[in-house]
Amino acid sequence: MTSAPAVPTEQLAGWRLVDERVDTPFDIKLITVTAHTNVYEDAELSAAIQDSTGIEGPGRFFLTSHVVLKPQPPTSEALRRLVTDRVARDFAHQLRDRGFTRVEETGRRAFSVSGADARLVSYESTYAFGTITLDVQGWLAVWQVGGDFLLAGGAYPTSVRNAASEETAEAVQALLHPSEFRDELFSLVRAVEPP
């Protein structure tokens, strides 16, 4: 049985586990793909947005996943690209399932996680709630440990795209700190350890 990657407890201060699941994120001929995923949310940001607007809004989320391929194929760059492509597509679907719209992959680059060479995929999207629409940035890192793959990433609001009033837009914008959110997300990603 697979288990989710570990994240040091002190790194998760302020985050709460909201979903834990084992599923098959994609299929590869003759290979069974199993992923154990944990999803965490920053309830404080969501509560602050609700206090500011009276409308339940989005917070930030962070996820980790351990992807196991059985039987385990030989390690190769082609396999790494295939898994990265499939999980990147699955992450975009997860964003849509969480209510994000206009989800678009905006880039890929190298990213170091505990000395491992990860691929970092970036996304942009929007999230509408009540009379407010937020711009959202998402990131997903994918790296190989032994024959398994680890994933970690998340999304956070970056700015108010539109709101019913300037007052509401300013109140919500004051709660958004995209550089800090990105730095914290990257710190969480880099803290992920194999199960």
Total structural domains in the chain? 1
Residue type, 86: R
* Residue 117 near residue 142, CB atoms below 8 Å: no
- Using pLDDT thresholds of 50, 70 and 90, give the confidence band for residue 2: low
Range of the domain at 163: 9-191
- Using pLDDT thresholds of 50, 70 and 90, give the confidence band for residue 43: confident
Q: How far apart are CA 51 and CA 49, in angstroms?
A: 5
Q: Counting Cβ atoms within 10 Å, is residue 1 exposed (0-12), middle (13-18) or buried (19+)? A: exposed
Write the pLDDT tens digit of every residue in 120-157: 999 999 999 999 999 999 999 999 998 899 999 999 99
Strand segments (E) across 25-147:
32-42, 60-70, 100-113, 116-129, 132-145
4 in a domain, yes or no?
A: no
pTM comes to 0.94
3 in a domain, yes or no?
A: no
User: With 80 as the cut, is the pLDDT of residue 41 above it?
Assistant: yes
